Chains A and B, each alone.
Chain A
Amino acid sequence: MEIIKVENLSRRFNKFLAVDSISFSVQEGEIFGFLGPNGAGKTTTINILCTLLKPTSGNAYVSCCDTTKEPNKVRSQIGIVFQDPSLDDRLTAEDNLRFHGRLYHLGSEEINKRIPEVLNLVELYDRKNDFVRKFSGGMKRRLEIARGLMHRPKILFLDEPTLGLDPQTRAHIWDYILKMRKETNLTIFMTTHYMQEADVCDKAAIIDHGKIADLDTPLNLKSKYNEQTLEGVFLKITGREIRSQAGESAWSQWMRRT
């Protein structure tokens, strides 16, 4: 079953075309990797899919609901771990989760049950009464993953979930995610810069200049481009030139303007 469907989706920030008429779909239970250099349009696409941003043209459906027409239905079925932290660091870890559970309409019993479950999953249960501002970057990220999973979303969006984390933490985070996926039929939509992480994807789309350059299983991509690694495939498709954060800065300018 298609759980995400995107049709001719475009998004323009003033003159800059961040996403240029892309179409793809994600099957339920899949890990879908969205790979691309800086400014390729990854975050813009995620922001449209999670209803933070309206497309300039085209349609996006998440779990059969149109992201612009029924945003609240979409919102209740997705969990998101943003690229930048989005915790309230003046509250405790438990406060943050309780707040999240209530925003997602969980009952008190369910909240009390889920808090230890998700905190144990990311091994933060013994820190539940600590203020988030005392947490390290890796702990914050783990807490965000726990929060994103708390309301049992159908789809988990991960925007660079392991950015800036040490290899140990990265390995742990992947363990949690894969464990979650084994236990439930969770669909994962992720972006990453670490190509070795993208190997766990069932499908990977390589996006550049707002367009999808190729979309296939990691195995097929490697054999198609005759490369040993996804990194090789990635560099073959997107070139070796260093990119500016054009798309990212257009997005942040837009966020500031509104």
Chain B
Amino acid sequence: MSDILAIYVLWLRDIKHYWYDKIRIFASLGQPLLILFVLGTALTPTLQGGVSFSKYIFPGVISMTVLFTSIFSAISIVWDREFGFLKEVLVAPISRWSIVAGKALGGSTVAVMQGAIMLFMAPLVGVELNLLIIVKSILAMFIIALAMNSLGIVIAARMKEMEGFQMVVNFIIMPLFFLSGALFPTDKLPQWLLLLNRFDPLTYGVDLLRKTIIGISNFHSIINIGVLLVFTLIMFSIAVFEFNISE
């Protein structure tokens, strides 16, 4: 019971940060909107048949929003360490796993809210939404967000200082995003790229969301959800282990 309460408190802190910092809500939508409308519109005439390009990448751009928000939110642990707040949490009489769970759930909720804002751009790219699609998409975003948050916490637990942040962006976030097939179909990729694509956990998130929103997918949703949950579980366990060590 006390663990649940601790998770709630840590979750609430992330929600409050999100709520107090409204500029960030808009700032972080800039990049996905650029990709969706500029890249989407520009490349549409070069592609023939099937759905329009912006419609095709729409679920990918939502995944991107969820990925970025999730990892940035998890990396805020590094700030908390630098500014001392992490100590306040670590000396509190709460279990170590609830610290990781609270952080993962808080970051995921924020990521889903950002993803939901993107989702409601759907009519602008010719995607029709209904209540069922919205509910399923939010669930899918949440599963993706949990996986990416857990990964982010593992990185944050090992990250020494905020200076390493650019490394994380260039060598973790960007590859996860570009390899996931968020911006292109993966059925005609050369072997080496296909292999990298299949090792990227976000691939399964993008596929899940694409199936939910526009009905196109490579894998069965059960496989997508399964891969993401197993990945989350592994990352979560590593994160709890790392927080136990720094005791």
One of B21, B89, B161 near A103 (C-beta < 8 A)? B89
Interface size in chain B (residues, C-beta < 8 A): 32
Stretch at the interface among B29-37, B92-100, B213-221, B224-232: B92-100
Considering only residues 63-87 of chain A, those with a C-beta below 8 Å from chain B are: 71-73, 75-76, 78, 80, 82, 84-87
Distance from A4 Cβ to chain B, minimum over Cβ atoms (Å): 16
Which A176-196 residues have a C-beta within 8 angstroms of B? none
B245 at the interface (CB under 8 A from A): yes
- Within the complex, the shortest CB–CB distance from B237 to chain A, in Å, comes to 17
Report yes or no: B93 in contact with A76, Cβ–Cβ below 8 A. Answer: yes
Task: Determine if B161 and A258 form an interchain contact, defined as CB atoms under 8 angstroms apart.
Answer: no
Q: Which of A73, A80, A89, A91 is in CB contact (< 8 Å) with B91? A: A80
Q: Is B13 close to A, CB under 8 A?
A: yes
Q: Which residue of B lies closest to A82 (CB)?
A: B87
- What residue of chain B has the Cβ atom nearest to residue A53's Cβ? B247
Interface: A170 (CB within 8 A): no
In the complex the two chains form, is A86's CB within 8 Å of B247's CB? no
Is there contact, CB below 8 Å, between B84 and A75?
no
Known: A86-B87, A103-B92. A256 touches B17 (CB 8 A): no
Using CB atoms, name the residue of chain A closest to B89.
A103
Residue A52 at the chain B interface, CB threshold 8 Å: yes
Contact B83 A85 (CB under 8 A): yes
**Would you give the shortest CB distance from B191 to chain A, in whole angstroms?**
40
Evaluate contact between A258 and B246: CB separation under 8 angstroms.
yes
With an 8 A cutoff between CB atoms, is A5 at the interface? no
Interface residues on A, range: 20 to 34
Contact A256–B90 (Cβ < 8 Å) = no
**Chain A min CB distance to B27 (Å):** 16
Q: In the bound complex, do residue A75 and residue B247 qualify as a contact, i.e. CB atoms below 8 Å apart?
A: no
Residues of A close to B9: CB separation below 8 A: 99, 102-103
Contact call A52/B87, Cβ cutoff below 8 A: yes
What's the nearest-Cβ distance from chain B to residue A206, in Å? 26
Chain A nearest CB, measured from B118 CB (Å): 25
Given contacts A71-B247, A85-B84, contact A95 B93 (CB under 8 A): no
Question: Is the CB–CB distance between B247 and A88 below 8 Å?
Answer: no
A127 interface residue (CB < 8 Å to B)? no
**Nearest A residue (CB) for B99:** A103
CB–CB A258/B245 < 8 A: yes
Pairs of residues from A and B, 5 with the lowest C-beta to C-beta distance, nearest first: A86-B84, A76-B93, A75-B93, A103-B92, A258-B246
Could you tell me which B residues sit within 8 Å of A by CB distance?
2, 5-6, 8-9, 12-13, 16-17, 20-21, 80-81, 83-95, 160-161, 242, 245-247
